[in-house]
């Protein structure tokens, strides 16, 4: 009998100085070849509740400063939050456009420019509204010796995903959305169609 090949593998870690503080970056790879990283800040003891953010890659928002989503703002806010807390983790998952990929996301943006919302655009291209998987989070957190988390998110689906993986969620902390005139409708769609939790008066 052959042993089952693991789906994910930890690769290496290194220092990562940033504008917010000195993090460490940890590399992981799926059997498919898809790469992911975790950023850790500070130290913690076994059993400590560690603030974490699960952040899906968004090249346009994270690196190109787009304001048509809230991704870049949330990533920066989450990194600052863990620095202010003294320790914490950002799980940065390479699943652009809620899992449809960068070029398909640009196609979806084109459809949104013509009047569709973000869910309608993804579905028009033949995709589900959200194709993301969070399975690798378990290995990432185990590697970093995190067993209890305070999850920074507005997305209840991430709570269920971690709970299904057997990760103890002690609390959920809302993450600032950074609403702009360009992403207000996007945030409204995330609330109405994807179940994200925002202040009910946000869209008044």
pTM: 0.90
By annotation, the residues acting in catalysis are 130, 132
Q: What's the pLDDT band for 188 if we cut at 50, 70, 90?
A: confident
Beta-sheet strands, E only, within the chain? 8-17, 22-30, 35-41, 49-56, 88-93, 148-152, 168-173
Domain of residue 42, CATH code? 3.40.50.10990
Q: Does 88 belong to an annotated binding site? A: no
Structure tokens at 196: 């994200």
Number of CB atoms found within 10 A of residue 74's CB: 22
Q: Residue 81 domain-assigned?
A: yes
Known binding residue 123? Answer is: no
- Per the structure, the complete domain to which residue 152 belongs is given by 8-95+132-171
Q: Do the annotations mark residue 34 as ligand-binding?
A: no
- The answer to whether residue 54 sits within a structural domain is yes
Is residue 66 domain-resident? Answer: yes
pLDDT in tens, 72-128: 999 999 999 999 999 999 999 999 999 999 999 999 999 999 999 999 999 999 999
**Is 201 inside a domain boundary?**
no
Q: Is 118 annotated as a binding residue?
A: yes
Structural domain total, the chain: 1
Residue 177 in any domain: the answer is: no
In a domain, 139, yes or no: yes
Which residues are CB-contacts of 138 (< 8 A; sequence separation ≥ 6)?
165, 166, 167
Residue 176 domain flag:
no
Annotated binding-site residue? 98: yes
**Domain for residue 84, yes or no?**
yes
7: exposed, middle or buried (Cβ count in 10 Å: 0-12, 13-18, 19+): exposed
């Amino acid at each position: 009998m052959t042993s089952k090949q693991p789906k994910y593998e930890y690769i290496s870690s290194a220092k990562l100085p940033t504008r917010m503080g000195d993090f460490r970056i940890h590399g992981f790879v799926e059997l498919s070849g898809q790469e992911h990283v975790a950023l850790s800040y500070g130290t913690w003891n076994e059993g400590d509740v560690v603030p974490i953010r699960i952040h899906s890659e968004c090249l346009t928002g994270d690196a190109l400063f787009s304001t048509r989503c809230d991704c870049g703002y949330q990533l920066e806010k989450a990194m600052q939050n863990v620095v202010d807390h003294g320790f914490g983790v950002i799980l940065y998952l390479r699943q652009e456009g809620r899992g449809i990929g960068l070029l398909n996301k640009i196609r979806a943006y084109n459809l949104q420019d013509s009047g569709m919302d973000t869910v309608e655009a993804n579905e028009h291209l033949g995709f589900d509204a959200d194709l993301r998987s969070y399975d690798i989070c378990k290995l990432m957190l185990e590697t970093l010796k995190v067993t209890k988390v305070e999850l920074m998110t507005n997305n209840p689906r991430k709570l269920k995903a971690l709970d299904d993986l057997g990760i103890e969620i002690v609390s959920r902390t809302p993450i600032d959305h950074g609403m702009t005139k360009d992403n207000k409708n996007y945030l409204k769609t995330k609330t109405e169609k994807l179940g994200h939790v925002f202040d009910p008066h946000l869209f008044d």
